[in-house]
Amino acid sequence: MGARIAWIKAAVFVLALCPLARLAVGAFAGALGANPIEAITRSTGTWTLSFLLITLCVTPLRKLTGWNWLLRLRRMLGLYAFFYAVLHFITYVWLDQFFDLGAMVKDVVKRPFITAGFTSFLLLVPLAATSTSAMVKKLGAKKWLALHRLVYAVGVGGVIHYWWLVKRDITQPAVYAAVLVVLLGLRLLYYARESAATAVARRREPALRATNQR
Partner 1 sequence: MLIKRRGDVPTSEITDQGVYLRRREFIQAAGLAAIGAAAGGLLTAPRTARAGEKIHAGAMKSPFSTAEEPTSYKDATTYNNYYEFGTDKESPATHAGKLKTRPWTLMVEGEVKKPRIWGVEDLLKKMSLQERIYRMRCVEGWSMVIPWVGFALGDLIREAEPTGKAKFVEFVTAYQPDNMPGLRIPALDWPYVEGLRLDEAMHPLTILAVGMYGEVLPNQNGAPIRLVVPWKYGFKSGKSIARIRFVERMPQSAWMKASPQEYGFYSNVNPEVDHPRWSQANERRIGEFLKRKTLMFNGYADQVASLYTGMDLKKNF
Find the shortest distance in angstroms from Cβ 111 to partner 1: 6
Find the shortest distance in angstroms from Cβ 168 to partner 1: 5
Nearer to partner 1, 28 or 98 (CB): 98
Residue 105 within binding range of partner 1, rule CB under 8 A: no
x/- letters, 112..151, toward partner 1 (CB under 8 A): xx--------------------------------------
Q: Tell me the torsion sign for CA atoms 5, 141, 47, 36.
A: negative
Residue 33 phi/psi, 5° resolution?
90, -170
Closest Cα partner for 50 from 179, 199, 165? 179
Residue 165 within binding range of partner 1, rule CB under 8 A: yes
Find the shortest distance in angstroms from Cβ 120 to partner 1: 17
Q: Are 99 and 93 in contact (CB under 8 A)?
A: yes
Residue 106 within binding range of partner 1, rule CB under 8 A: yes
Helical pair 2-29 and 71-90, crossing angle rounded to 10 deg: 20
Question: Which residue type occupies 78?
Answer: G
Which of 65, 133, 171, 213 lies at the binding interface for partner 1 (CB under 8 A)?
171
Residue 108 within binding range of partner 1, rule CB under 8 A: no
Residue 164 within binding range of partner 1, rule CB under 8 A: yes
Non-local (6+) Cβ contacts of 54 within 8 A are 77, 81
| Integer-rounded Cα radius of gyration of the chain | 21
**Helix locations, 66-170, DSSP H:** 71-90, 101-110, 112-129, 133-139, 141-148, 150-165
Residue 37 within binding range of partner 1, rule CB under 8 A: yes
- Say how far apart CA 43 and CA 56 lie, in whole Å: 20
Which of 10, 21, 35, 67 lies at the binding interface for partner 1 (CB under 8 A)?
35
Q: Which residues in 5-34 contact partner 1 (CB under 8 A)?
A: 33-34
Residues that bind partner 1 (CB under 8 A): 33-35, 37-38, 95, 97-98, 103, 106-107, 110-113, 164-165, 167-169, 171
